[in-house]
Amino acid sequence: MPDTSEGKKPLLRFLGFDFGEKRIGVATGQKTLGTTQALCVLKAENNQPNWEQVDALIKEWQVDAFVVGLPLNMDGTEQPVTLMAKKFAKRLHGRFGLPAFTHDERLSTAEVREYLFELGGYKKVKDSDFDAYAAELILKSYFESETTS
């Protein structure tokens, strides 16, 4: 059953974000097909991206919703950056009027390294692109969790 927001159209096309205080990885995905693609990394100042760049990505990819990775400690407790990621998700929703979901991103760094190794080795990937691949895995994980729930 596709996500819907208050009875509106199904949520199919997403932007996923790997929030960081200095860099924010961005990926896109189509929920029905389960496809995802790392897009870019946005520089952040004061924990915020250039909102015009985010707006351009929303328009380019015609997204219906957002997923923001939620950085938690291994025991599930929150850390200072967890609150910043939640605030970022609220800002996305407030600025663009689209639903914003958060998704547990524990282990995403280790999973990104493994994923990139499968693609031919993470040493070939520039450090600056790493966060975009993390955003892609957050989105993949979100899609998988939605199909199993």
In the chain, where the domains are located: 12-148
Taking the alpha carbons at both ends of the chain, their separation in whole angstroms is 10
Question: pLDDT value at position 120?
Answer: 61
Question: pLDDT value at position 119?
Answer: 62
- What is the block-wise mean pLDDT of the chain (149 residues), using blocks of 10 residues? 55 95 95 93 93 97 96 85 95 97 78 64 60 90 80
Question: pLDDT value at position 5?
Answer: 46
Question: pLDDT value at position 57?
Answer: 98
Cα-trace Rg, the chain: 14
Beta-strand relationship, 65-70 and 23-30: unpaired
Please give the CATH topology (third level) of the domain spanning 12-148.
Answer: Nucleotidyltransferase; domain 5 (3.30.420)
46-82 burial, b at 16+ Cβ within 10 Å, e below that, comes to ebebeeeebeebbeebebbbbbbbbbbeeeeeeeebb
Tell me how far apart the alpha carbons of residues 120 and 97 are, in angstroms, rounded to a whole number.
Answer: 39
Give which of 87, 84, 103 is closest to 15, Cα–Cα. Answer: 103
Tell me how far apart the alpha carbons of residues 45 and 134 are, in angstroms, rounded to a whole number.
Answer: 20
The three-state (H, E, C) secondary structure of 14-46, written as one string: EEEEECCCCEEEEEEEECCCCEEEEEEEEECEC
pTM over 0.85: no
